Structure 1
């Protein structure tokens, strides 16, 4: 099964060659097992209280976990510690033995991967640092940056390994752990000992391949307890049959119950019908801005249908957003999303994007979002601000491009118009593209000076779009500019990828969670109509609609570079929208983006010869 999986994922090799020399210390099974049992129990108990996060590895197509990984990090000390629990490694015969590896990678492949490999050698456990090259071939790292701190075989025949490494090893062959998405690999297999003295082993017959996307440097904040008066509402579609089409946006109106006074939403989470996990791409719930006593129709149907009631255009204020890979979102204890009461209504509308590329028929769905809300109000009302690129074919990605970047501006003119005098404080961010997005980041500019970025993910995956708490709240003032960039890899596509709503189209968005709530809902841009018309005329396609013109462009290297320059420097049309969906007063067409500002100094990497292993022993190894 694992071999078939590797072939299906186009891995270049199945047999990985390991060149192991046994000059580094190993741990004897007999020696370690001679320690008193109580010693092991105390170590485990102490360490249980140290770990901040946990994930479980499950192979594709299976349901039984093959391993659990706990971890905690200390950025100030530049160190991260892991505890891996999995089935014990064994000697399968006199010449065949098992190995296990934890890998870190930019994506789900075995290309350019950082691996910590553990194997059984005689009565000892060996553990070393390896890396794979662009062909997937394994090499022992000259700089051994992982450290095996401890291990145990538990009473239920589980192997428990504790190991650590610097967050930034300053080693070009190691994976650099950053804020953002990390692809973790859990591999198992067996090897046959060489019959020579060349101190080499050949790893083959991969038996386990499990991949999990996580954020190793996730912000850790205290999780407030749910109050005793918490109420739960599930905003779900009602037993609908998903259309057998590639892309469907389905809308359903719902009314929150028991909403006689203002409430705060303090938590929400996805409810996805079992078996439909691959169909539900993302969901948004909008509060509807209607007058007291006004009733909305109980509509359930396509969001693009011609018979969709016009009164639903009032449903524009986002109160919850979820995308594939996101976990339940819990608001910090000082904020909540206002719903109900004076000046607000209990009417909401859910919009679900279904991705059905194989046109499956007869699929019934009851998915949606579960909200936890309370009448016990918190100090601040939260809002969600959408920044990035307008959903429009005006800004599209050429085919066969490895690193093409789309850019969207939330201009200083728009933040002046929409933000309160004291500004807002961002506390979380959710980055969003479709299938070809590989990196997303948002720059923050104030009076011509670049401030700290407002979220960055250099290894972004459209299958892991979690809402990430920021390390500290970020103040955004009127007049600030937010510039969102998305990098795409379209080497697998021969036609242009248009901006738009379909899963084969592309998006570039950052949903910023903030407080106090303002009337600014959307702050995005796209290449101006005048600029696009001029570009198409230059390519001999004047007068063609954007979709047709961009599809007919001859996308050679020269044209791609010209189009990239247009996106980065040419005039833009902006969307500066209120919660009602109406634009703020102003001239939002054919604006010139600010292209020059004082850049923020790059973070200094402290690469020196300090023996960090001593630091690890002192800081992490609890005995």
Structure 2
């Protein structure tokens, strides 16, 4: 309790803060609907230190809102509030590892206002982005897993009642919400959409079909792309890729879809190599910046595209039929630049492997200096500007960074997500466009956990396999489609004691010849047979990051830059940018209440002095 002599100071500043809040306005920059029925609406705004939420829910009981490490209740940071007899209330809680809810000793959520009518309750509250409270979750630019709940009754003396089915989760970026759908309702659009595709009775299916791009008489720009996901299939459709195909295809190729990467798939699928766009689960669509568009209608633009839909069906559901796809908005009002896409990271292959039982394993995919020197040096010596990045991994992925180097000096990352969520992957607009020059290099760094796995995890197409990719949207468009790397296999095999492989290679995966314990095993079987431990896995990881790399540097279609297929060593790095760390007040620093009182008194003294002038 503060001494009585300070009470006038507190009254003064309380009144001042109240009126300052009213004059500031209640505009919120961002909003979303958290539940499928439109009953739980979230708005928010933020600055460098603080975030403010307003929640409107169709209930006259309590509202729950939280931040979770994994989307579940356990170990979550929670706030619960409501309005009782016209008076709003708000309490800061946390859930322990057993999902039991406790009132937080340090109340870091501050009630702004609350109201209710006959059907809805509205609460507004704020908190610091970083509270230095171990029971709170920091709010950063990485993915945040928001959990929500509500009840028809307010919080009673014994605490909040169980919410039942009125709950859910949504992954989002509170500090980097992405592009908005700012296109006119009159804007022309066309759909690329599968019609009644029978989803096979198996874990993973890649379904491909070739479509013809909307015919236009002159150049147009596509300025927004949205997913068209069949209702109820939000977890079935994992990602959709668009590839540009050979413009001389016969239109008879358009009639039927087929499984991708299948021995019996149409030969025309092999002509579709250049990625035009990528969408992944959780994404809500992408709007290009005002000065950039995806070009259609010229001689080098897509005429035919292959749409690849990844169906993820781990429960082996039968009888599912899907009609999902994409909607593309286009305009004759041309933007200044044509957009392109570069796929960077680890070349998808069995040579990308993760040992089992690892709390953390790091993979690096290099877009090498030589690839960018050759491609950009010939196509665009002044460089290209990256304006958005989509980072992509599968179920073992935990964090991804797209690192950028000039010479041996590291610049700030192009993008990063320290809380990567497999179920939420979308293009993120960069706050500031980044110049990528000939001779620069990029590293896509992926952190995985395989602690619950008993066997090796392989680079591959299924969600139980792994990928480590960054898709870069940039301008102006140049003839570079993929800039990737893959660690050499021989060094990885030597680690487990392989001495010789069977030659000539006639099977895939290829076979081991010696030593005897691996004889007649494929290299994948030999890797699984090796007795992995945490220490061996760590040593393997350190070794792989130093291995020579096979370079992939490809043009549109099936052409390649001359550097493709060469072997290079990982670059030397002189200076490295570390991920930002949370700085919290130490015990030796003055308590925040003392600092607040000092600030209030100082400001009050200044006001009094000004009034006496």
Q: Does 1:438 align with 2:398?
A: yes
Tell me the residue number matched to 1:267.
224
- How far, CA to CA, are the matches of 2:155 and 2:582 in structure 1? 41
Question: Which residue of the other structure, out of 503, 507, 511, is the alignment partner of 2:463?
Answer: 503
Instruction: Please state whether the residue corresponding to 2:438 is helix, strand or coil.
Output: coil
Tell me the residue number matched to 2:247.
290
Alignment of 1:342-421 (within 5 A): 342-419=299-376, 420-421=380-381
Alignment of 1:15-164 (within 5 A): 46-47=25-26, 50-58=27-35, 63-75=36-48, 78-90=49-61, 99-118=62-81, 124-154=87-117, 156-164=118-126
Tell me the residue number matched to 2:573.
596
**Number of equivalenced pairs:** 552
Deviation string 1:82-139 (CA, Å, 9 cap, x unpaired) is: 001124455xxxxxxxx43211122112232212222678875432323334343444
Tell me the residue number matched to 2:553.
576
C-alpha change, 1:599 and 1:241, in structure 2 (3 Å) is: same
Structure 1 residue 398, shift from structure 2 partner: 2.1
Length-normalised TM-score, structure 1: 0.81
- How far, CA to CA, are the matches of 1:440 and 1:393 in structure 2? 20
Structure 1 residue 294, shift from structure 2 partner: 6.8
Tell me the residue number matched to 2:211.
254
C-alpha change, 1:360 and 1:205, in structure 2 (3 Å) is: closer
Q: Conserved in 2, the CA contact under 8 Å of 1:411 and 1:523?
A: yes
Q: Conserved in 2, the CA contact under 8 Å of 1:227 and 1:374?
A: no
Deviation string 1:463-496 (CA, Å, 9 cap, x unpaired) is: 1112211111111111111111222233332222
- How far, CA to CA, are the matches of 1:599 and 1:456 in structure 2? 15
C-alpha change, 1:611 and 1:267, in structure 2 (3 Å) is: farther
Tell me the residue number matched to 1:519.
479
Tell me the residue number matched to 1:238.
195
Structure 1 residue 169, shift from structure 2 partner: 2.2
Deviation string 1:429-474 (CA, Å, 9 cap, x unpaired) is: 1111112212111111111111111111111111111221111111
Structure 1 residue 425, shift from structure 2 partner: 1.0
Q: Conserved in 2, the CA contact under 8 Å of 1:537 and 1:543?
A: no
Tell me the residue number matched to 1:33.
none
Instruction: Please state whether the residue corresponding to 1:549 is helix, strand or coil.
Output: helix
Tell me the residue number matched to 2:608.
none
Q: Conserved in 2, the CA contact under 8 Å of 1:250 and 1:353?
A: yes
- How far, CA to CA, are the matches of 1:231 and 1:121 in structure 2? 49
- How far, CA to CA, are the matches of 1:527 and 1:334 in structure 2? 38
C-alpha change, 1:242 and 1:534, in structure 2 (3 Å) is: same
> Structure 2: 5+ residue runs without aligned partners?
1-17, 499-514, 586-591, 604-613
Tell me the residue number matched to 2:176.
218
Between 453-462 and 485-494, report the one with greater CA deviation.
Answer: 485-494
Q: Conserved in 2, the CA contact under 8 Å of 1:224 and 1:333?
A: no
Deviation string 1:317-362 (CA, Å, 9 cap, x unpaired) is: 2222111111121111100112232233411111111112233333
Q: Conserved in 1, the CA contact under 8 Å of 2:60 and 2:116?
A: no
Alignment of 1:172-251 (within 5 A): 172-188=134-150, 201-207=158-164, 208-218=166-176, 225-226=183-184, 230-251=187-208
- How far, CA to CA, are the matches of 2:233 and 2:110 in structure 1? 41
Q: Conserved in 2, the CA contact under 8 Å of 1:191 and 1:202?
A: no
- How far, CA to CA, are the matches of 1:294 and 1:140 in structure 2? 67
Q: Conserved in 1, the CA contact under 8 Å of 2:357 and 2:452?
A: yes
Q: Conserved in 2, the CA contact under 8 Å of 1:237 and 1:367?
A: yes
Structure 1 residue 585, shift from structure 2 partner: 0.1
- How far, CA to CA, are the matches of 2:569 and 2:520 in structure 1? 23
- How far, CA to CA, are the matches of 1:232 and 1:123 in structure 2? 48
Tell me the residue number matched to 2:502.
none
Question: Which residue of the other structure, out of 428, 433, 447, is the alignment partner of 1:473?
Answer: 433
Structure 1 residue 232, shift from structure 2 partner: 1.8
- How far, CA to CA, are the matches of 2:30 and 2:475 in structure 1? 27
Q: Conserved in 2, the CA contact under 8 Å of 1:569 and 1:595?
A: no
Structure 1 residue 223, shift from structure 2 partner: 6.2
Instruction: Please state whether the residue corresponding to 1:534 is helix, strand or coil.
Output: helix
Q: Does 1:427 align with 2:393?
A: no
Q: Does 1:276 align with 2:233?
A: yes
What is the Cα-based RMSD across aligned positions, in Å?
A: 3.2
> Structure 1: 5+ residue runs without aligned partners?
1-38, 91-98, 195-200, 619-623
Instruction: Please state whether the residue corresponding to 1:520 is helix, strand or coil.
Output: coil
Q: Conserved in 1, the CA contact under 8 Å of 2:223 and 2:331?
A: yes
Between 164-173 and 184-193, report the one with greater CA deviation.
Answer: 184-193
Instruction: Please state whether the residue corresponding to 1:569 is helix, strand or coil.
Output: coil
Q: Conserved in 1, the CA contact under 8 Å of 2:358 and 2:534?
A: no
Structure 1 residue 309, shift from structure 2 partner: 3.6
Deviation string 1:204-255 (CA, Å, 9 cap, x unpaired) is: 5343332121110125668654496x43221122332222222111111111
- How far, CA to CA, are the matches of 1:227 and 1:303 in structure 2? 35
Structure 1 residue 366, shift from structure 2 partner: 2.0
Instruction: Please state whether the residue corresponding to 1:579 is helix, strand or coil.
Output: coil
Tell me the residue number matched to 1:32.
none
Q: Conserved in 1, the CA contact under 8 Å of 2:260 and 2:308?
A: yes
Question: Which residue of the other structure, out of 527, 535, 541, is the alignment partner of 1:558?
Answer: 535
Q: Conserved in 1, the CA contact under 8 Å of 2:207 and 2:310?
A: yes
